[in-house]
Amino acid sequence: MNGLSERFDPGFVWGAATSAYQIEGATSEDGRGASIWDTFCAQPGRTFRADSGEVAVDHYHRWPEDVALVRDLGLGAYRFSVAWPRIQPDGRGPAEPRGLAFYDRLVDGLLEAGIEPWPTLYHWDLPQALEDAGGWPVRDTAERFADYAAIVADALGDRVANWTTLNEPWCASFLGYGAGIHAPGRTEPAAALAASHHLHLAHGLAVPRLRERVPGAKVGITLNLYAISPADDTGRHDDAVRRIDGLMNRWFLDPVLLGRYPQDVLDDVAGVGGTDVIRAGDLATIAAPLDFLGVNYYSRHVVAAGPWPGASEVDFVERDWPKTASGWDIDPVGLGEVLAQVHRDYPPLPIYITENGAAFDDVVGPDGTVEDHDRIAFVAGHLAALADAIDAGVDVRGYFAWSLLDNFEWAEGYAKRFGIVHVDFDTLVRTPKASARWFAELARASSTKERS
């Protein structure tokens, strides 16, 4: 452990994370409606090998085994997401009781096992019916989300304390509506910006609905933040850093935590369109006070000014750098930079690392075990950076490994394994990897040590 466990407070939350579409399967069971990911996966060429979440790792049926895995690892918290189309198959109207009953059982199972449930209300599986009505670029979707949040709060609020509204609105808006590499696969820059605003609004409308129904609820949002640095230190690329930090980090942090959009980004995107959906009063709604910020950290982007003097294009620079199987640079220092930025530029708020982890090309040994020492090194490196940030005064209270299980990695299908628990995608047998055992021991040692 190299003293790592000593560096975290005994009350530090150790957990593992998943999301509904990536693990549940059972996409047409118990009244679940279609989501944009069902539709997207059914379109040719959208996902690796046309993989989909139709079966995923069958968590919908195997959840007791998965809860037992978390318990056996001794983790105190489990982050999962609620599938909106299970609760409201068409994204509006009365709740589907069978959908609610699933999360009811899951929450009870977690609590019985001594595991704190950390639900996220939106991890990208928008009901297809709402996309058919325009999706996130349409304001009404935000209102529908607030109604859905209220239904889930009514059902689970007597047992769930920690609530996350959205996971990574950057991905949901910019990858889904701009780049088109995530569902719904649209490539409309103005729609992407409008979607981002309506995701923020959805969050802001949901916060008071959750608080009304769940006295004492701890409410937060999860953002994916990136370290951004210039290709060299000549200063030539500083504007590229400003632009990308603006679009990937500040466009999401500022409205939620400061109640305004960054003016420089508004200026950058002025010609794109889409920001005309921002109405007077929206930002006050969006900036509803929160109890925590969830940070997902995976990597750094190195950027350079584009080749044309005066033009706004930015180049993303490939570095000769150690990478995960996703091709993402392994850069734990970036985690510290991201946390320092949040600490420096925003009002104080407890932070939880709601995702961090890596895909590697795991090799299953003859006895079925996976000795994933590359993943252990990845997590250990990031935890050391995290401990440094905490020592430097950043208020980080927990860390959730992404992911508990190998699962459906969106456009990459089943090609990328992020789990600390291996899943055989044919038999669906779960086997903890060396990283799971290591992480469990770290959590145990950290939680049980004497306060010094």
Binding site for substrate: what residues are annotated?
Answer: 22, 123, 167, 298, 402, 409-410
* List of residues 6+ apart from 275 with CB closer than 8 A: 193, 194, 197, 261, 266, 269
Tell me whether the omega of the peptide bond preceding residue 184 falls within 30 degrees of 0, making it cis. yes
Q: How far is the CB of 168 from ligand FCB (least distance, A)?
A: 5
Which member of 244, 409, 433, 442 binds ligand FCB (CB under 6 A)?
Answer: 409
Residue pair 422/431 in contact by the 8 Å Cβ criterion: yes
Whether omega before 446 lies within 30 degrees of 0, making that bond cis, reads: no
Q: Which of 171, 231, 317, 415 is the binder for ligand FCB (CB under 6 A)?
A: 171
Query: Of 96, 131, 168, 337, which residue is the catalytic one?
Result: 168
**According to the binding rule CB under 6 A, does residue 5 interact with ligand FCB?**
no
Q: Whole-number minimum distance, CB 130 to ligand FCB, in Å?
A: 20
39, 41, 42, 45: CA torsion to nearest 10: 130
Q: Return the number of the residue (83 or 283) whose C-beta is nearest ligand FCB.
A: 83
Q: Examine residue 418 and tell whether it contacts ligand FCB (CB under 6 A).
A: yes
The 10 Å Cβ neighbour count of residue 444 is 15
Q: Is 19 exposed, middle or buried (0-12, 13-18, 19+ CB in 10 A)?
A: buried
Q: DSSP E strands: which ranges in 149-239?
A: 162-167, 218-230
Please say which residue, 23 or 265, places its beta carbon nearer to ligand FCB.
23
Amino acid at 204: G
Rounded CA separation 336/390 (Å)? 9
User: In this chain, which of 38, 51, 168, 362 binds ligand FCB, going by CB under 6 A?
Assistant: 168
Catalytic residue among 143, 355, 371, 450: 355
Q: Which two tokens stand for residue 21?
A: 């579409």
In the complex, the smallest distance separating the C-beta of residue 418 from ligand FCB, rounded to whole angstroms, is 5
Shorter beta-carbon distance to ligand FCB: residue 275 or 326: 326
Q: Is 355 a catalytic residue?
A: yes
Scored b (16 or more CB within 10 A) or e, 103-134 reads beebbebbeebebbbbbbbbbbbbbbbbbeee
Smaller CB distance to ligand FCB: residue 5 or 19?
A: 19
Which structure tokens are listed for 443? 């959590």
Among 27, 224, 229, 447, binds ligand FCB (CB under 6 A): 224
Is 282 a residue that touches ligand FCB (CB under 6 A)? no
Q: Angle at the Cα of 26 (from 22 to 27), degrees rounded to 5?
A: 75
By C-beta, is 148 or 170 nearer to ligand FCB? 170
- 19-58 residues near ligand FCB, rule: CB under 6 A: 19, 22
User: Could you give the string, one character per residue 229-258, with x where binding to ligand FCB holds by CB under 6 A and - elsewhere?
Assistant: ------------------------------
Interaction between residue 8 and ligand FCB (CB under 6 A): no
State in angstroms the smallest separation of the CB of 324 from ligand FCB.
Answer: 10
Q: How many helices (H) and strands (E) does the chain have?
A: 16, 11
Which one of 37-45, 213-221, 370-378, 402-410 is the stretch in contact with ligand FCB (CB under 6 A)? 402-410
Q: Choose one: 7-15, 95-103, 165-173, 365-373; the region binding ligand FCB (CB under 6 A).
A: 165-173
Q: Indicate the annotated binding residues.
A: 22, 123, 167, 298, 402, 409-410
**Cα(222)–Cα(225) distance, rounded to whole angstroms?**
9
Interaction of residue 402 with ligand FCB, rule CB under 6 A: yes
Q: Contacting ligand FCB (CB under 6 A), which of 66, 337, 355, 406?
A: 355
d(CA 48, CA 262): 36
Residues serving a catalytic function are 168, 355
In the complex, the residues that contact ligand FCB under the rule CB under 6 A are 19, 22, 167-168, 171, 224, 296, 355, 402, 409-410, 418
